[in-house]
Structure 1
Amino acid sequence: MARRLSSTLEMTSAKQPPSRRGSERLVPDRRGSGYSSGFSSRRPSIDPSRLVPMDKTTHVGGTDHFNVVFVGAGNIMFGCDEGPWNHSFRFEHKLGLRLKVVALIDPATERAAAVLQKKCDSFVVSAYRDTRVYKTLDDFAKNMTPKERPRAFVIGSPPMFRGTLQPGRDIEMQIQKYFPGVAMFIEKPIATGDNSEIEETFKVAKFISESGAIASVGYMLRYLKATQKMKQIIEENNLVVMATIARYACAYELIAKPDWWDKSKSAGPIIEQGTHFCDLSRYFGGEVDISSVTAHSLEWDENAGLLSKMAIDESKIAPENRIPRVTSATWKYDSGAVGSFTHVATLQGRNYSCELEVHADGYCLKLVNPYVQPVLYVRKPGDDHEQVFNFPDDDPFFSEARFPVSNWIDIIEDIEEDPDAAQILSSYEGTRSSPSVFMSPMEFPDACRTYELTWAIREASERSRAQRLATAKVFAAGIKETIAEEE
Structure 2
Amino acid sequence: MSSMLNALIIGAGEINFGSVEGPWNHTVRLERILGPRLRVVGLIDIDEARAKTALASKLDAQATHAAWVDCQLFRTVADAVLALTQEKTPQIAVVGVPPFARGTDVPGRDLEQQLVSAFPGCALFVEKPVSSGPEDACWRVAKVLQESRTIVGVGYMLRYLKAVQMIKKIITENKLVVMGTNARYVMAYEYARKPHWWDKTRSGGPIVEQATHFCDLSRYFGGDVRLPSVVAHSVQHNESPGQLSAKRFDEDAIPAENRLPRLTSATWKYEHGAVGSLTHVIALHGTTYDTEFEVYADGYHFKLVDPYSIPKLYIRRPGLAELETHTFTEDDPFHTELATFIDVVDGRRPSSDILSSYEDAVKTYELTWAIRRASEQSAVGYT
CA deviation map 1:300-354 (0-9, x unaligned): 1000101111122101111111001000000000000000001001011111111
The answer to whether residue 347 in structure 2 is matched with residue 414 in structure 1 is yes
From 167, 170, 188, the counterpart of 1:233: 170
Which residue is 1:483 aligned to?
none
State percent identity of aligned pairs: 51
From 224, 244, 249, the counterpart of 2:181: 244
Name the CA distance, whole Å, in 2 between partners of 1:90 and 1:173: 25
The answer to whether residue 82 in structure 2 is matched with residue 142 in structure 1 is yes
Name the CA distance, whole Å, in 2 between partners of 1:118 and 1:175: 26
Q: Which has the larger radius of gyration?
A: 1
Which residue is 1:131 aligned to?
71
TM-score normalized by the length of structure 2: 0.98
From 107, 111, 123, the counterpart of 2:50: 111
Name the CA distance, whole Å, in 1 between partners of 2:154 and 2:326: 27
Q: Which amino acid aligns with 1:426?
A: S
Which residue is 2:367 aligned to?
453
Unaligned runs of 5+ in 2: none
Equivalent positions of 1:340-419 (< 5 A) are 340-397=277-334, 401-402=335-336, 404-415=337-348
Name the CA distance, whole Å, in 1 between partners of 2:288 and 2:228: 34
Q: Which has the higher helix share?
A: 2
The answer to whether residue 356 in structure 2 is matched with residue 426 in structure 1 is yes
Which residue is 1:121 aligned to?
60
Which residue is 1:97 aligned to?
36
Which residue is 2:225 aligned to?
288
Q: Which amino acid aligns with 1:66?
A: L
Note the C-alpha offset of 1:180. 2.1
Cα pair distance change 1:396/1:256, threshold 3 Å? farther
Name the CA distance, whole Å, in 1 between partners of 2:280 and 2:332: 22
Q: CA RMSD in A?
A: 1.3
Q: Which amino acid aligns with 2:16?
A: M
CA deviation map 1:126-172 (0-9, x unaligned): 11111111111011111211111000111001111110111111000
Which residue is 2:123 aligned to?
183
SS of the residue 2:150 aligns to: coil
Name the CA distance, whole Å, in 2 between partners of 1:179 and 1:171: 12
CA deviation map 1:289-310 (0-9, x unaligned): 0000010010110001011111
SS of the residue 2:380 aligns to: helix
Alpha carbons 1:181, 1:213 under 8 Å: kept = yes
CA deviation map 1:219-248 (0-9, x unaligned): 000000000000011001100001000000
From 94, 99, 104, the counterpart of 1:159: 99
Alpha carbons 1:76, 1:86 under 8 Å: kept = yes
SS of the residue 2:333 aligns to: coil
Q: Which amino acid aligns with 1:215?
A: V
Note the C-alpha offset of 1:467. 4.3
The answer to whether residue 151 in structure 2 is matched with residue 214 in structure 1 is yes
SS of the residue 1:124 aligns to: helix
Unaligned runs of 5+ in 1: 1-60, 429-444, 470-487
TM-score normalized by the length of structure 1: 0.77
Larger RCO (CA under 8 A, 6+ residues apart)? 1
